[in-house]
Amino acid sequence: MSAREIEAAARERLQQAVGYRFRDAGLLLRALTHRSAGHDNNERLEFLGDALLNFTVAAEIFRLRPKAPEGDLSRLRASVVREETLALAARRVPLSEAMRFGPGELRTGGHKRASSLADGLEALVGGVYLDGGIEPAQALCLRLLAPELASLPEVGSLKDFKTRLQEVLQAQSRPLPEYSVLSEDGPAHRRNFKVRCQLADVALATEAEAHSRRIAEQRAASMMLDAITSSEKKKHA
């Protein structure tokens, strides 16, 4: 078989595995093209798929945990829609075999990297939405993450954002963040706290507000995690 035939066969296996067949073959190809492989890549579809995954999983968790408060729902969603979980879902289907990477990315093992697989999965969901609409896209999200949704953890077992941020920084041998209260106002029964999370080794800080200092710190830590993830993506771009 030629290289083109091998690629086409991989795309066929992927469509069979995920239970959706693209009407627009060009859209499928774009969804599977890593930015290292060319200008017409899957980054925009990744943006779209990320939003669809978050919404679909949020709606399903809302249904599955009818008595859970907003904070618990957010933590459960974050436990499902995260890089490690999406990469695991991508490995359950032959996604890496069907994706297109540039030579440099292949040499450095980019086709096996969790971030690349998670991004590719998001792009695939975004492509399904454009190709077939919201219903097949949401159905795909639920199929891909069915094992995780069927075994949602107890909320108390989930690590909070401050703990996760601490572990990320420690893994990089970086100093721990500093939290400070910028302001505190409002009546005694409903105080409002504005908190800053500051990294000690770079000029990067996030700020968040809540009706308790603890929740405000968690929100600031969550925002810092997002900022660090975004910075890492830009480095590898």
C-alpha angle 130-84-110 in degrees, rounded to nearest 5: 75
Average pLDDT along the chain: 89
Whole-structure pTM value = 0.68
Q: Tell me the range of 94-98, 105-109, 175-179 where mean pLDDT is highest.
A: 175-179
pLDDT in tens, 198-230: 998 988 999 999 888 888 898 899 999 989 888
The answer to whether 155 touches 68, Cβ cutoff 8 Å, is yes
- The whole-number pLDDT of residue 236 equals 61
- The whole-number pLDDT of residue 214 equals 86
Least confident of 2-11, 45-54, 91-100, 177-186: 2-11
- Residue 109 CA to residue 117 CA, distance in Å, equals 12
- The whole-number pLDDT of residue 164 equals 85
- Residue 167 CA to residue 183 CA, distance in Å, equals 27
Kindly provide the b/e burial profile for residues 109-148, where b requires at least 16 CB atoms within 10 angstroms of the residue's own CB: ebbebbbbbbbbbbbbbbbbbbbbeeebbbbbbeebbeeb
55 class by beta-carbon count within 10 Å (0-12 exposed, 13-18 middle, 19+ buried): middle
- The whole-number pLDDT of residue 55 equals 97
Per-residue pLDDT band at 237 (split at 50, 70, 90): low
The counts of H helices and E strands in the chain are 12, 3
| Phi and psi at residue 209, to the nearest 5° | -125, 150
Residues annotated catalytic, as ranges: 50, 122
Q: How far is CA 15 from the centre of its chain?
A: 22
Residue scoring higher pLDDT (190 or 161): 161
With a cut of 90, say whether residue 91 has pLDDT above it: yes
- The whole-number pLDDT of residue 111 equals 73
Q: What tokens does 16 get?
A: 């069979």
- Residue 15 CA to residue 215 CA, distance in Å, equals 42
- Residue 145 CA to residue 85 CA, distance in Å, equals 8
- The whole-number pLDDT of residue 156 equals 65
pLDDT in tens, 28-70: 999 999 988 888 889 999 999 999 999 999 999 999 999 999 9
pLDDT in tens, 168-180: 999 889 999 999 9
- Residue 197 CA to residue 204 CA, distance in Å, equals 9
- Residue 112 CA to residue 152 CA, distance in Å, equals 26
- The whole-number pLDDT of residue 232 equals 74
Per-residue pLDDT band at 136 (split at 50, 70, 90): very high
